[in-house]
Amino acid sequence: MATKWPSCPRSAAAEVATDVRLLDAPLEPAAELARFAGAHRGAGGIASFVGQVRAESGADAVLELELSHYPPLTLPGMVALAETAAARWPLDGLLLLHRTGSLGPGEPIVLVAAAARHRRDAFAAADFAMDHLKSEAWFWKRERTAAGWRWIEPRAEDHADKARWTISSQG
């Protein structure tokens, strides 16, 4: 990265417009993406990801998902993550939105979008942000099924996904 962008110092991240928020009301990806695109009309492309509560049928179906967080750490941690991504890729903008509270099946949980001059930077930054949100962000989830409430434990895959980003060489 550093060899490809010799004139792009890390301080350039300060120029990236990051928008990081916790939402306790429904997240509306289409409206948020439209606003984000409007704010970054000069970008060559925008890559985005929406995570949502799985809507399933049957006895194990999730009826409700509750997302709790710890205010002194959760949003500051997401802001730091956005700054790390903005320092690593040449971006025009980065959007990280995450729900808290009670969600129903099919409801969006998280929206990540990266606007960049070149698509690969946008894809990579959004992918990086999601992998780190999944493994590091201070959220605890529990879900309610017909059998009652159950806490969701960490998945080993989430940590393996994050590890992909430390193996790759950084200039």
Partner 1 sequence: MPVGMTIRVRLVFLGRLQDLAGAAERMVEAAQASTVDALLDQLEPELAAALRSPKVRIAVAGALGGFDRTLSDGDEVAFLPPVSGG
β-strand partners of 144:
64, 149
CB-based contact 90:116 (threshold 8 Å) = yes
> Contact between 128 and partner 1 (CB under 8 A)?
no
Given candidates 82, 86, 95, 98, which one binds partner 1 under the rule CB under 8 A? 98
Question: Taking contact as CB under 8 A, which single stretch among the options 9-17, 34-42, 56-64, 146-154 is the one that binds partner 1?
Answer: 146-154
Residues 6+ apart with CB under 8 A from 40: 17, 46, 92, 93, 115
Cα 28 from Cα 46, distance rounded (Å): 17
Given candidates 109, 115, 116, 122, which one binds partner 1 under the rule CB under 8 A? 109
> Contact between 137 and partner 1 (CB under 8 A)?
yes
Q: What is the DSSP letter of 54?
A: -
Given candidates 9, 140, 160, 163, which one binds partner 1 under the rule CB under 8 A? 140
> Least separation, in Å, of the C-beta of 158 and partner 1?
5
β-strand partners of 112:
49, 96
Site string for partner 1, 35-64 (x = CB under 8 A): ----------------x-------------
Among the listed residues 164, 157, 145, 47, the one whose alpha carbon sits nearest the alpha carbon of residue 105: 145
> Least separation, in Å, of the C-beta of 57 and partner 1?
23
Cα 66 from Cα 99, distance rounded (Å): 10
Given candidates 11, 42, 59, 153, which one binds partner 1 under the rule CB under 8 A? 153
Residues near partner 1 (CB under 8 A): 51, 68, 70, 72-73, 98, 109-110, 130, 133-142, 151-155, 158
